[in-house]
Chains A and B, each alone.
Chain A
Amino acid sequence: MNLKRIGALALRYTFLYTRSVPRVAEMFFWPVMDLLVWGFITVYLMRMDNRVPAMVTFLLGSMIFWDILYRAQQAVTISFLEDIWARNLLNIFVAPIRIGEFIAATYVVGFVKILITVAVLASLAWWLYSWNLFQMGFGLIPLFINLLLMGWAVGMVTTALIMRWGQSAEALAWGIPFLIQPVAAVFYPLNVLPKWIQPISLSIPATHVFEGMRQVLNGKGLSAQHLTWAFGLNIIYLIAAALFFRYMFNVAREKGLLAKLGTQ
């Protein structure tokens, strides 16, 4: 891994984002809209006195956490798509760059973007709803890291699929995370799901993060069990995603798809 090359690739995205109003707006627009909707739903539910538990405020936490996962996945996939849209992919792949460096740069950019977005959302949540994201204390850090790791793994798989099936698979960039959302117990506890789905749900790292978050917000502290499962599963999925990406990269080279993608 060459840090200078990773830095150069990351610099490219920095230029891109500082120059493009739609891209900057996209970083904030949807997350803020989501926050407003979920925030006011939370306010409404809270006003129903004793009919709903006070921990309903976890909806705001779920929304912000979901955004971390979604943005981490998007950072990897959209960065790749940016090069396809700009017909720059060939220039990148014929430069002395290792695939790992290309992916690492998307991780770095994604991480910075997420930090900015979360800072804005946390401030708005505090200002509008007096809801403090940092009430989770240090528990927030491992939960955040696990969402990031899962987002990166999903991002690699999505990018690999686009590399293999081209721009016709572009919709996957936005669609794949939402395939996971219903079974990852994002906005509701795991026990709400039908029994037969629960094992599937428990095999998703995000499920353990969201369950862990709800436990913390419920004052029960951070569950070591959920954290261990989340980290363990994420390591497995990251390795599997990297192998899948490498396999698809080789398939794309075998079939001459990289060149086609780069000049479409």
Chain B
Amino acid sequence: MSEPIVEVQHLRKKFDGTVAVADISFAVHRGEIVGLLGANGAGKTTTIQILLGLTKATAGTVQIFGQDFERHRVEILQRCNFSSAYTGLPSNLKVWENLLIFSKLYGVNNYRARTDELLALLEIAHLKKKITGHLSSGESTRVNLCKALLNDPELLLLDEPTASLDPDIADKVRKLLRRIQRERGTTMIYTSHNMRDVEEVCDRVLFMHKGRIIAEGTPKQVVDKFQQRSLEDVFISVARGGDVLAAAEAEAAQ
């Protein structure tokens, strides 16, 4: 297996008495796309926030590119990027202005060529001179993705990147992410509530429930483990509790 890009050891996060992440450990290897799955409150968003340095862990360590995140935050973030359906770019600025600013923040050389290349790749070259606030949510999501790819990140964290896209564009984005992974060896951590996304894009999934990882493996392995027909069925059966969940939790505890 290739070198680990992300190594999380005994990560714990407690908010005023509520355990959001309960002692999880995992590694993500170079070139992998790993999906973080789970119902609302499973702890996946908190985990992503800790990986991005937005939230401080209560205990445990996060190493990215072999460096301790807390001590090398800026150096690590220089090689990462992030896109979320729930964030935006300043709406008064034109698309190219936003991309220019983030190019400079990430120290991208030859930003004009890079921006043009990415806008073409995401099929939004015609939006370059538009005011960001005038874009549709699908267009905004693609501009956000464009921003996330500016620095050719080695590690890309994606929070529901297809949440507001129509099926056609969502399909194109999934294929694009796969292509980026193939051509550039980009490592990705991906959260989504769309199980079809996950099955199509992710090499491996970490299934979280109440702050713990209760299953880990390829999408097929996880589906088989829970003896379900699809990841969506796994999701529903875990969310609704019962024998399937109890067995998985018992196994995870061991």
Contact = CB atoms under 8 A, between A and B. Distances in A.
Interface in A211-255: 250, 253-255
B113 interface: no
Interface of B: 13, 15-16, 20, 45-46, 49, 52-56, 74-75, 77-78, 80-82, 84, 86-94, 97, 100-102, 104-107, 131, 147, 157
A8 B97 CA distance: 11
Contacts of B87: 87-91, 262-263
- The main secondary structure of chain B at its interface with chain A is mixed
B76 to A, nearest CB: 8
A258 B90 contact: no
B82 A90 contact: yes
Nearest to B45: A259
Nearest to B52: A94
A89 B66 CA distance: 27
B52 A88 contact: no
17 contacts: A8-B105, A11-B100, A11-B104, A12-B90, A15-B97, A82-B90, A88-B88, A88-B90, A91-B82, A91-B102, A94-B53, A94-B157, A95-B102, A96-B106, A255-B16, A256-B46, A256-B49
A16 B104 contact: no
B55 A258 contact: yes
A16 B94 CA distance: 10
A250 B16 CA distance: 15
B104 A7 contact: yes
A190 to B, nearest CB: 43
A261 B205 CA distance: 29
The 9 closest A-B pairs by CB, nearest first: A8-B104, A87-B88, A96-B77, A96-B78, A253-B56, A86-B90, A256-B55, A263-B86, A94-B82
B49 A259 contact: yes
Given A82-B90, A256-B46, A262-B87, A96 B54 contact: no
Given A93-B52, A256-B54, A263-B86, 8 more contacts: A15-B101, A16-B92, A90-B87, A91-B82, A94-B52, A98-B74, A259-B45, A262-B87
A20 interface: yes
Given A19-B92, A91-B82, A259-B49, A5 B55 contact: no
Contacts of A96: 74-75, 77-78, 105-107
B54 A93 contact: yes
A5 to B, nearest CB: 6
Contacts of A9: 101, 105
Classify chain A: how many residues form its interface, as a range.
Answer: 20 to 34
Contacts of A112: none
A4 interface: yes
A98 B72 CA distance: 11
Contact of A254 (B56, B89, B93): B56
B61 to A, nearest CB: 16
B106 A95 contact: yes
Contact of B101 (A12, A87, A253, A254): A12
Contacts of B97: 15
A200 interface: no
A97 interface: yes
A4 B108 CA distance: 11
A20 B82 contact: no
A95 B53 CA distance: 10
B78 to A, nearest CB: 4
A81 B98 CA distance: 17
Contacts of B131: 19
A174 to B, nearest CB: 21
A88 B49 CA distance: 15
Nearest to A83: B90
A87 B77 CA distance: 19
A50 B15 CA distance: 67
Given A91-B102, A259-B55, A12 B74 contact: no
